Amino acid sequence: DIQMTQSPPSLSASLGETVSIECRASEDIYSNLAWYQQKSGKSPQLLIYYASSLQDGVPSRFSGSGSGTQYSLKISGMQPEDEGVYYCLQGSKYPYTFGAGTKLELK
Amino acid sequence: EVQLVESGGGLVQPGRSMKLSCAASGFTFSDYYMAWVRQAPKKGLEWVASISYEGSSTYYGDSVKGRFTISRDNAKSTLYLQMNSLRSEDTATYYCARPSVYYPAGWFAYWGQGTLVTVSS
């Protein structure tokens, strides 16, 4: 199975700060990676798919990059509504696997 | 508008069975792979299973393989998850999810509200 190592487990950012979250796959996943945001008590929301494509309706301050085994999500200018837990998911090979999550809080 | 509505959760004893349903609307159900994703209390997301358009191909996570069965009824636009030999570690909110694209992918753009399954004596 493909293991997804996500870092950091948590971070705190100030309003307007740029933050980055990383995911490393245990093997090449050929950009078959998605990023999700989950707010407390809510269902996850798709932010980025195929490593760098922005899902419709998602603010442009969210961006994804990476290839091979290394991927990252960047939020350019932290907003209060960006608080939540972020997960990566590899969809290259079954079983699909999520990263452990990154809890993002506003400082 | 795409809607996914899960049902069938509740309290069940260890070793017993339970069947979850997900009623889909707002799209042509048979055009999409479908999936179940779960989340234990205060824990992360875990992909559980996926199923192909007509149900001929199914895929499972290691922790549920051999115990859970994903199925679908395209005539009823409904996805199912039959859960047997339930364990305490299966306690979670179970989400039904649909990809944003017609081919199998891990980009689940649509999610239900989730149904809570509690396995306890």
B57 touching A (Cβ < 8 Å): no
Reported as a single tens digit per residue, the pLDDT across A42-59 is: 999 999 999 999 999 999
Residue in A with minimal Cα distance to B57:
A94
pLDDT for the residue numbered B105: 84
Name which of B35, B106, B114 is nearest A32 (Cβ-Cβ): B106
- Alpha-carbon distance B42 to nearest alpha carbon in chain A (angstroms): 10
pLDDT for the residue numbered A34: 97
Instruction: Give exposure, A14-49, as e/b (b: 16+ Cβ within 10 Å).
Output: eeeeebebbbbbeeebbbbbbbbbbeeeebbbbbbb
Contact list in B for residue A38 (CB cut-off 8 A) is 45
Q: Do A43 and B46 touch (CB under 8 A)?
A: no
Residue B84: is its pLDDT beyond 90? yes
Residue type, A24: R
- Alpha-carbon distance B13 to nearest alpha carbon in chain A (angstroms): 25
Q: What is the mean pLDDT of chain B?
A: 97
Q: From the CB of residue A94, how many other CB atoms can be counted at a distance below 10 Å?
A: 18
Q: From the CB of residue B65, how many other CB atoms can be counted at a distance below 10 Å?
A: 11
Reported as a single tens digit per residue, the pLDDT across A60-105 is: 999 999 999 999 999 999 999 999 999 999 999 999 999 999 999 9
Residues with Cβ within 8 Å of residue B75, at least 6 apart in sequence: none
Asked whether A51 and A33 are in contact (CB, 8 A), the reply is yes
State the Cα–Cα distance between residues A27 and A50, nearest whole angstrom. 16
pLDDT for the residue numbered B103: 83
Q: Do B47 and A87 touch (CB under 8 A)?
A: no
Q: What is the mean pLDDT of residues B69-77?
A: 98
Q: Which of B14-28, B82-96, B98-112 has the lowest mean pLDDT?
A: B98-112
Q: What is the mean pLDDT of residues B63-92?
A: 98
